[in-house]
Amino acid sequence: MSNIGHTPQEERAMLAAIGADSFETLLDQVPSALRQQKPCDLPPAQSEFELRRTLSGLAAENYDPLRSLSFLGAGFYDHIIPAAIDQIVLRSEFYTAYTPYQAEVAQGTLTTIFEFQSLICALSGMEIANASMYDGASAAAEAMLLAGSATRSERVLLAESIHPRTRGVIETYLDGSALEVLTLPERKGQVDLAALEQALTEKPAAVLLQQPNFFGLLEPLDRVAELQQRLSAETHLVVSADPLSLALLAPPADFGAQTVIGDVQPLGIPPQFGGPSAGYFATRASHARRLPGRLVAEATDAEGRRGFVLTLQTREQHIRREKATSNICTNSALMALRATIFLSLLGPTGLQEMAALCAARGQQAAERLCGIRGVARRHAGPFWREFVLTLPREAEDAVERAYEAGGVLAGVPLSRFWPERRRELLVAVTEKRTPEEIETLAETLEKVLA
Amino acid sequence: MAETKTPEPQQSQSTEAGCPPRRSVEVIYERSLPGHRGYRLPRGAAARWEAAIDALPETLRRKRPPELPEVTEPEVVRHFIGISLLNHHVDRSLYPLGSCTMKYNPKINEELARLPGFALLHPQAPETSLQGILALLWRFERELACVVGMAAVSLHPAAGAQGEMLGMKLFRAYHRHRGHAKRKVLVPDSAHGTNPASVVLSGFEPVQIASGADGRMDLGAIRAAIDDDTAGIMVTNPNTLGLFEKEIAAVAEAIHAVDGLVYMDGANLNALVGLAQPGAMGVDIVHLNLHKTFSTPHGGGGPGSGPVAVTAELEPFLPVPIVERTEAGYRLEHGRPLSVGPLHPWCGNAGVVVRAFAYLHSLGAEGLAAVSRAAIVNANYLMKQVADSFPVAKREWCMHEFISSASWTKKHKVRVMDVAKRLLDFGFHAPTVSFPLIVPDALMIEPTETETRPTLDRFAAALREIAREVRESPERVQQAPHSTCVGRLNEAAAARRLRVRWQAAKERDDAGGA
């Protein structure tokens, strides 16, 4: 019990000092019928040394990420993580601090949040960004709620080409709200513009697209924007954008987006079996008072020194209660800090090089893999980092064999999201993958598909 | 009893607090120099980059680079280390924020969560290659269920508020399944703000119930508010005054009589682990904060993890996917027809769960009971030490936290926030201030089990010293803090100007403004 502040002797002395006969005296308010009679059935306590052995053993029952070759994507990507990030976030000052409620002793956290907001605005082109959300999916759901409250329309339109899990989370969040979820079908992997044109005549609260979309394809945001502005200017164009792609792609603000959201996992956050990551939420200044979550602003003290504070807290649940714009309280500040350090280290040139390398390696891999008999790209459209292949056999079977053949994680079978898409494989190629490793993937697939 | 010296507040030029002399806080953009960079990428096929970019449609391409800072690695490190020194944190000293459970975060947990076999796992790898993490999740779900005496657990919610929201989605799913159209959810007035916000987010109407004179739920008022339209109640136990809700079983019975559900906010579970189980109180749903009770770090505001435990009756409604154990090994089940649907991009914040798993296994059943016991002893001990300077709201023993009131300082023109700010000068974080709303000028104090008696004595002594200052030199308190890197910041002016990004500050300078 090395983390408990006192010994049994000290406890007795403390109880005596406050006039309590025993610990039981303090519990007079807990009805005996509600007291736990039997201890929980838990494994015996382990020392630090034993814990390390137990947990290392469990970790070893997973694949070894350092010795496997990953082409897995679908929302979580195997990007470079600069060493400085972990050293900084392991500072007790950052990771053992609470939400910055007392600004004068939280300037470290508040400054990093202000920086995160600034960097997200720079990438997305928006005017205001919050301190972070749990993840990209919950950010998307909150964007739908914001659009609903800003427009008073009762429908939101989700492109079929967004991450199916994001769609699922939005549906869960909106159950019980006044908003109805409609689907905008895909055509050749991208948003169907004819269907969009028709749907916009219904003046939905929002239309949500993902850029690049779930299949890695670039959505024609220029043409979407043109339709949206012509047919339903009040509709919120909401773009879920991969923040790394924004080093190369025009900021969604250029296309009139009202809100830009996404997940910052590609920016220095390990995949951790799906979380924690952090979502970002950026919008127009005119929506500041509808923004979910925390927001940090520049402030000054009485002598004019600059510092940072939480601001517009009257939007938030701890003040506004049932009238709050969102119920979010804890967010993902430490993961947002990872992204902030990542972007500071990479800078504009490094980020562009990384994104360009993803584009180049992706194209290189697609070319090479389409040279395998029976393998072809599923869609013809332009893509970044990730693309869908059609295989001559079931994708689930192929990835299992590829893994067993030599630790190659060849991609994500789309049948996991759409059971009927049995032969489609989503392949992601990041800057970490060398031409030799792409060749290894190709040779492995040749073998298992033969 | 050891004698405690009156602590000396730090002087304004002191670096003891880790604070450099007072000056404006720096932003990373201010270290930017053209052409600098902090990371070098592997040498790739540079020649192909341009071709790769050209393959992207021109209309979608960025015209100029994003405005990111240009900084070398040593400068990035110096910047973040420099601003880190401006933070208070648990590893420095007491952080007695009520209802936040700022206990020590064991170092081993950070090491274990960073094992590549956990940290670098991709959720879409073949299930046969993920047996270790799936086993960990499966076991931890059952261990948590055992801790709270419930049938099943979902580890998906990313934080307590998302757990609450899941609770309300479960209310919806359950009542829909039973063919009900119930709309009202009862919420005591001492509840956390997330409670009513979560109720509204799920399409219910919150009905606020006034607390009784003893600060607990008023069974009569609740019975009077219950009708056929009542979907359920949200109860925090112990409540935000640090009091055990003695009537919780009777409340549950009354709610169940109209086929309503009882949701328990488990934010204060640190008082109960090993001591009393929500499952025995008639609770149908309870959330736990792994970043409170189970020692995972708060990270300056997150990430957290807010698992939800439910009765067997509600298990079919939990979010998908569910970890299942079969003869062939662990697998994820997505097909649950009654499920509320997905809540998270995958299975919750697994990286946080690994830390909490390590923590629970470091305790075992005995250790778990020792946690709540020490938390309760510490809170009661501190309450008695503090009561002479800041009166305690309720004259009875408390659970893991208690509420003092600073109302008396108003006659000296000192506000509760001034008292909180003055505590910072003594090297402590302030308690939660002005919450719960039902106690005027509340100081909500939760020491947790990891603090020692000398630390609690020093904190109580600081409060005594501040009480003396309020009477003898109130301006010292009104103008606090004096030792921090910046003085009290003008929040009202900040909200009016609303400078929320670096660009805005720079454009202002370009325009010649102040």
Mean pLDDT of A32-39: 95
In the sheet that B432-433 helps form, which strands lie side by side, from edge to edge?
B402-405, B442-445, B432-433
B113 neighbourhood in chain A, CB within 8 Å:
272
Q: Rounded to whole angstroms, how far apart are CA atoms B201 and B384?
A: 40
pLDDT surpassing 70 at residue B473: yes
Question: How close is the nearest chain B Cα to the Cα of A231, in Å?
Answer: 21
User: Which of A317, A341, A365 is the C-terminal boundary of a domain?
Assistant: A341
A203 with A255, same domain: the answer is: yes
Put simply, the answer to whether A45 touches B59 (Cβ < 8 Å) is no
Asked if pLDDT for residue A278 goes beyond 50, the answer is: yes
Mean pLDDT of B448-474: 98
Using 50, 70 and 90 to split pLDDT, how confident is the model at B510?
A: low
CA distance B100 to A165: 31
Residues of A with Cβ-Cβ distance to B36 under 8 angstroms:
347
- B441 half-sphere exposure, CB direction, 13 A CA radius: 17
The pLDDT score that the predictor gives to residue B14 is 42
What's the complex ipTM? 0.97
Give A198 to chain B, closest Cα distance, Å: 24
Q: B246, A30: Cβ pair inside 8 Å? A: yes
Q: Which residues of B touch A218 (CB under 8 A)?
A: 56-57, 60
A chain contacts of residue B454, beta-carbon cutoff 8 Å: none
Same structural domain, A204 and A301: yes
SS3 B442: strand
- Closest-CA residue of A relative to B158 is A134
> What's the start-to-end Cα distance of chain B, in Å?
56
Model confidence band, residue A427 (pLDDT cutoffs 50, 70, 90): very high
pLDDT of residue B201: 87
Q: Which domain-ending residue is among A341, A359, A383?
A: A341
Instruction: Give me the residues of B, 375-404, that contact A with CB < 8 A.
Output: 376-378, 380-381, 383-384, 396-397, 399
- Residues A368 and A426 placed together within one structural domain of the fold: yes
DSSP-derived secondary structure for B315-370: GGGSPSPEEEEETTEEEEE---TT-----SSSSS-HHHHHHHHHHHHHHHHHHHHH
For residues A355 and A335, membership in a common domain is answered with no
Mean pLDDT of B449-478: 98
User: To the nearest whole percent, how much of chain B has pLDDT over 70?
Assistant: 93
Shared domain for A410 and A312, answered yes or no, is no
Please tell me if residue B214 touches chain A, with a CB cutoff of 8 Å.
no
Check whether residue A308 and residue A435 sit in a common domain: no
**Which of A9, A46, A51, A104 is the best residue to mutate to test the B interface, defined by the most B CB atoms within 10 Å of its own CB?**
A104
Q: What is the pLDDT of residue B47?
A: 59
Is B95 part of the contact surface with chain A (CB cutoff 8 Å)?
yes
Kindly state whether residues A353 and A285 are assigned to the same domain.
no
pLDDT digits (tens, 9 = 90+) for A385-409: 999 999 999 999 999 999 999 899 9
Angle at B125 between CA B131 and CA B345, to 5 degrees: 100
Contacts of B174 in chain A (CB under 8 A): none
pLDDT over 70 (residue B118):
yes
* pLDDT at residue A325, rounded to an integer: 80
Contact B297 A319 (CB under 8 A): no
Q: Are residues A75 and A89 in the same domain?
A: no
Q: What percent of chain A has pLDDT over 70?
A: 100
In this complex, do A45 and B361 lie within 8 Å of one another by their Cβ atoms?
Answer: yes
**Contact between chains at A93 and B376 (C-beta distance less than 8 A):** no
Same domain, A271 and A296: yes
Least confident span in A35-49, A301-315, A421-435, B495-509 = B495-509
Find, among B381, B323, B390, the residue nearest to B132 by Cα.
B323
Q: How far is B466 from chain A (nearest CA, A)?
A: 18
pLDDT band at A319 (very low <50, low <70, confident <90, very high): confident
Predicted confidence band of residue B7 (pLDDT cuts 50, 70, 90):
low
Domain-embedded: residue A150: yes
Given A341, A368, A391, which residue is the final one in a domain?
A: A341
The answer to whether residue A396 sits within a structural domain is yes
Q: List the CATH number of the domain containing A90.
A: 3.40.640.10
Lowest mean pLDDT among A45-54, B484-493, B498-507: B498-507
**CATH top-level class for B111-361?**
alpha beta
Domain that holds residue A158: 84-341
Confidence check: pLDDT of B13 > 80: no
Decide if pLDDT at B512 tops 90. Answer: no
If you compute the radius of gyration of chain A from its CA atoms, what whole number of angstroms results? 25
pLDDT of residue B43: 73
Helix (H, G, I), strand (E, B) or coil at B186: strand
pLDDT confidence of residue B513: 39
For B460-479, what is the mean pLDDT? Answer: 98
Mean pLDDT of chain B: 93
The pLDDT-based confidence of B45 (bands split at 50, 70, 90) is low
Contact state of B302 with A276 under an 8 Å Cβ cutoff: yes
> Could you give the number of structural domains in chain A?
2
Answer yes or no: is A37 within a domain.
Answer: no
Q: Which residue of B has its CA nearest to A164?
A: B345
Q: What is the pLDDT of residues A139-180, one digit of tens each?
A: 999 999 999 999 989 999 999 999 999 999 999 999 999 999
Same domain, A353 and A320: no
A369 and A329 in one domain?
no
* CATH code for position A441: 3.90.1150.10
| Domain regions of chain B by residue span | 28-84, 111-361
Which of B131, B340, B361 minimises the CB distance to A172? B340
Burial of B353 (0-12, 13-18, 19+ CB in 10 A): buried
Asked if residue A376 is part of any domain, the answer here is yes
> What is d(CA A29, CA A18) in angstroms, rounded to the nearest whole number?
17
pLDDT of residue B238: 96
Q: What is the pLDDT of residues B442-459, one digit of tens each?
A: 999 999 999 999 999 999
Mean pLDDT value across chain A = 96
pLDDT, residue B15, reads 41
Q: How far is B261 from chain A (nearest CA, A)?
A: 17
Amino acid at B194: T
CA distance B350 to B344: 11
Q: Do A165 and B38 touch (CB under 8 A)?
A: no
Range name among A326-330, B183-187, B248-252 with the lowest pLDDT average: A326-330
- Give burial (CB, 10 Å; 0-12/13-18/19+) of B42: exposed
Q: Is the same domain home to A381 and A297?
A: no
